[in-house]
Amino acid sequence: MTSPRPASASQALAPAERAVQLLGGDLSEVALRQHLEGLPTVDAVGLEARAASFGTRSIKTTSKAAALDTVIRMIDLTTLQGSDTRGKVRSLVAKALVPDASDPSTPRPAAVCVYGDMVGNAVEALGSAWSAGKDDGINVAAVATAFPSGRASIGVKLQDTRDAVAAGADEIDMVIDRGAFLEGNYGKVFDEIVQTKDACRRDDGTYAHLKVILETGELVTYDNVRRASWLSILAGGDFIKTSTGKVQPAATLPVTTLMLQVVRDWERLTGERIGVKPAGGISTSKDAIKYLVAVAETCGEAWLDPHLFRFGASSLLNDVLLQRQKLTTGRYSGPDYVTID
Amino acid sequence: MATSKTTTAKATTAERTASRTAARTASDRAASARLDVPKTYKLFIGGAFPRSESGRVTEVTDAKGRFVANVAKASRKDAREAVRAARKAHPGWAGATAYNRGQVLYRVAEVLEGRKAQFVDELVRTEGLTAARAAKQVEAAIDLWVWHAGWTDKIAAIAGNANAVAGPYFNISVPEPTGVVAIIAPQTDGLLGLTSVVAPALVTGNSVVVVPGSAQLSAISLAEVLATSDLPGGVVNVLTGDAAELAPWLASHADVNALDLTGAGELDWITLEQSAADTLKRVLRPEPGIAPETPQRILALTETKTIWHTKSRL
């Protein structure tokens, strides 16, 4: 699309509507840097204490049942292995369609999340349950832009995205160029997000939802997470996502809380709602419910919606199903009573 | 002390005696002033000794009603954690060679032998036994561990078989462990009663969640022995507490494969058995006293696996 440009301080950036509105008409790397580095720093101790306090709420009986169902509705059921086969994707989709065969009232997850080349298989397996860009049904999310490392040329990244969208992906999970970000080359990261957003455009003029993966485990500091979140939103991301799940630490409660604070601030500033997706390392219902508390107490209960909050997870669903079975039957369930894949 | 030493050199005999007496009374005072270090008997889950999640304890008293110790009182959530730990530990223990399991069980006997005095003391204090009878019981328990240690690599020989089949196949049956076994231990005979139900389950590679009967202190002390006998953490989990409270949760738990009700005679064991049937558990019914020392008991907690394999024709 465009040849890589040398990073120059006065370089004009690709126009992104939000950034132009916030930073003014002459969008430049300098303006962007000044804006991002002018963000207040994060009180790490306060943030961690706040996050730890989310684990102290008592959520029992009917509220627990409601929380578990909400968690299931927010899950992006994920398989992102080099060893993924078409059969594996089919069985993942089957699990999304019927999460618990012993209880038809179990809600379905929001989406299945696969590698770009598996999108066609996922769409085919979903059949009529596929949302196809509409609001009803299960979405297909695809990771793109040389996931998980993001180390490829921009042309490859954009083609990766276009292919997934053409195959039917409703949502694109892109990774940012962490190397460029850590070098302070915010303009390059910004441009890539803008261009990827452009590549999410379908033939009919609509866009696949763009989730921007920050890979917070590689950003090292909370300040960087705040800047990267803000940068991703400015560049046009619909969702900001913590991690690929391939790097430790992946999603943590403090980092997710921080990102929720950013989207809350963005809403106060512009009235626009951005989604948050923690991914990687959330495998128990107990943890997931702490995240729901974080969402409700940071952004408000309106945010407890699959359009605004998602869990990227593979084993979480089974644990939620076990807890759900415990609530409905009154006895503890076991791993023999849920499917493995 | 340093000062008293320097003065002794010049002191008369009378003075020396006086100073020695003073020193002795000081040391006596120190001995009587030493604070008791009472032990809190905690649960044994996944190789660790946590308190009950509920924070509850039961007081154990001696025959005359005097306080002996606080023992953690397990809740249903502790039972859930114990089952989870047992499930996690099961593949490793079941997959260990029979020879290795035998060595570990024998090691339990060895370590018990070294700590005999502690077990005798606990039985004397809590069960009101004479020292001689307590010692006899502890020795019987040690012997029972040795007896079971011997069975680990022999049980397949008496329960397994090369079956005759009408075809060119090997057809082999072998006993395999049932899985996670929840045990309500006998209410009597303390350490011996506990050993009589736990050891047979361990022989073939089951992992165990046990609710001890009267011998709550012995059960936790035994857990300390198990923890230092190379038994992988989680293979045995001990939940001291109220069997009537815990048993229904274990009986209905879908991830428990067998329920040994040997010591549940006083409980509503028929309901427990019915509840266990919901998830097709193997159930051993209550028996008076301690569990009998038989290979049948070991085999009661096994499943038979039969394998067909073609015979090669060279």
- In chain A the domains, ranked by start, together with CATH numbers, are 37-337 (3.20.20.70)
Does B49 score more than 80 pLDDT?
yes
Average pLDDT over residues B105-127: 94
Helix (H) or strand (E) holding B68: strand B67-72
Using the Cβ of B268 and the Cβ atoms of chain A, whether some distance falls under 8 Å is answered with no
Query: Alpha-carbon distance B36 to B185, whole Å?
Result: 31
Active site residue A64: no
- Nearest residue to A1 (alpha-carbon basis) of A191, A235, A177, A172: A191
The domain tally of chain B equals: 2
Cβ distance B254 to A330 less than 8 Å, yes or no, reads no
- Lowest-pLDDT range of A4-13, A48-57, B145-154: A4-13
Q: Which of residues 45-84 of A touch B (CB under 8 A)?
A: none
Position B9 confidence tier, pLDDT thresholds 50, 70, 90: very low
Q: Which two tokens stand for residue A136?
A: 């009803």
Do B9 and B69 fall into the same domain? no
Q: B248: nearest CA in chain A?
A: A331
Do B13 and B57 fall into the same domain? no
Using the Cβ of A337 and the Cβ atoms of chain B, whether some distance falls under 8 Å is answered with yes
- Lowest-pLDDT range of A261-265, B28-32, B176-180, B212-216: B28-32
Rg (CA), chain A: 20
Q: Which two tokens stand for residue B29?
A: 């005072």
Q: A335: nearest CA in chain B?
A: B255
Q: Is there a contact between A176 and A244 (Cβ–Cβ < 8 Å)? A: no
Does A238 score more than 70 pLDDT?
yes
DSSP E strands in A51-110: the ranges are 75-78
Q: Is there a contact between B136 and B191 (Cβ–Cβ < 8 Å)? A: no
Q: What is the pLDDT of residues B268-286, one digit of tens each?
A: 999 999 999 999 999 999 9
Do B71 and B26 fall into the same domain? no
Angle between helix B243-252 and B269-277 (nearest 10): 20
Does A16 score more than 90 pLDDT?
no
Q: Which of residues 307-336 of A touch B (CB under 8 A)?
A: 325, 330-336
Strands A75-78 and B302-310 come out as unpaired
Q: What is the pLDDT of residues A195-214, one digit of tens each?
A: 999 999 999 989 999 999 99
In the prediction, which pLDDT does B27 show?
56
Do B117 and B18 fall into the same domain? no
Q: In what order do the strands lie in the sheet with B207-211?
A: B236-238, B207-211, B180-184, B258-260, B282-284
Cβ distance A332 to B252 less than 8 Å, yes or no, reads yes
Q: What is the mean pLDDT of chain A?
A: 92
Nearest Cα of chain B lies from the Cα of A333 at a distance, in angstroms, of: 5
Do B19 and B153 fall into the same domain? no
Strands B207-211 and B302-310 come out as unpaired
**Long-range contacts made by residues A255-259, C-beta under 8 angstroms, separation at least 24?**
A255/A216, A255/A222, A255/A225, A256/A51, A256/A291, A256/A294, A257/A47, A257/A50, A257/A51, A257/A54, A257/A294, A257/A298, A258/A42, A258/A47, A258/A222, A258/A225, A258/A226, A258/A229, A259/A214, A259/A225, A259/A229
Q: Is there a contact between A228 and A176 (Cβ–Cβ < 8 Å)? A: yes
First to last CA, chain A: 39
- Nearest residue to A210 (alpha-carbon basis) of A269, A259, A161, A166: A161
Q: What is the pLDDT of residues B234-248, one digit of tens each?
A: 999 999 999 999 999
Active site residue A277: yes
Distances (CA, A) of B179 to B254, B272, B301: 12, 19, 8
Do B60 and B18 fall into the same domain? no
Q: Is there a contact between A175 and A147 (Cβ–Cβ < 8 Å)? A: yes
In the prediction, which pLDDT does B92 show?
97
Look at residue B242 and give its three-state secondary structure. coil
CATH of the domain at B256: 3.40.605.10
Query: Alpha-carbon distance A23 to B14, whole Å?
Result: 98
Average pLDDT over residues A258-274: 95
Angle at alpha carbon of residue A222, lines to A216 and A225, rounded to 5°: 45
Q: Which two tokens stand for residue A14?
A: 């690709």
Residue B5 burial class via C-beta count within 10 angstroms: exposed 0-12, middle 13-18, buried 19 and up: exposed
For B40-65, give one letter per residue: b (16+ CB within 10 A) or e: ebbbbbbbebebbbeebbbebeeeee
Instruction: Count CA atoms within 13 Å of residue B235 on its CB side.
Output: 26
Do B91 and B20 fall into the same domain? no
Does A310 score more than 70 pLDDT?
yes
Active site residue A286: no
Q: What is the mean pLDDT of chain B?
A: 89
Angle at alpha carbon of residue B256, lines to A286 and B185, rounded to 5°: 115
Catalytic residue among A197, A211, A277, A290: A277
In the prediction, which pLDDT does A136 show?
84
Residue pairs between chains A and B whose CB atoms are closer than 8 Å: 28
Does B185 score more than 70 pLDDT?
yes
Using the Cβ of B253 and the Cβ atoms of chain A, whether some distance falls under 8 Å is answered with yes
Using the Cβ of B278 and the Cβ atoms of chain A, whether some distance falls under 8 Å is answered with yes
Do B286 and B147 fall into the same domain? yes
Instruction: Count CA atoms within 13 Å of residue B210 on its CB side.
Output: 35
Do B24 and B156 fall into the same domain? no
Cβ distance A331 to B87 less than 8 Å, yes or no, reads no
Cβ distance A336 to B254 less than 8 Å, yes or no, reads yes
Do B217 and B136 fall into the same domain? yes
- Nearest residue to A246 (alpha-carbon basis) of A281, A278, A285, A220: A281
Rg (CA), chain B: 25
Nearest Cα of chain B lies from the Cα of A97 at a distance, in angstroms, of: 24
Domain hosting residue B29, numbered range: 2-33
Taking contacts as CB-CB distances below 8 angstroms, the residues of chain B near A60 are none
Look at residue A88 and give its three-state secondary structure. helix
Do B27 and B116 fall into the same domain? no
Give me the count of residues in chain B: 314
Q: Which two tokens stand for residue A110?
A: 């929001």
Position B2 confidence tier, pLDDT thresholds 50, 70, 90: very low
Residue A8 burial class via C-beta count within 10 angstroms: exposed 0-12, middle 13-18, buried 19 and up: exposed
For residue B104, give the DSSP letter: H
Do B20 and B92 fall into the same domain? no
Average pLDDT over residues A67-73: 97
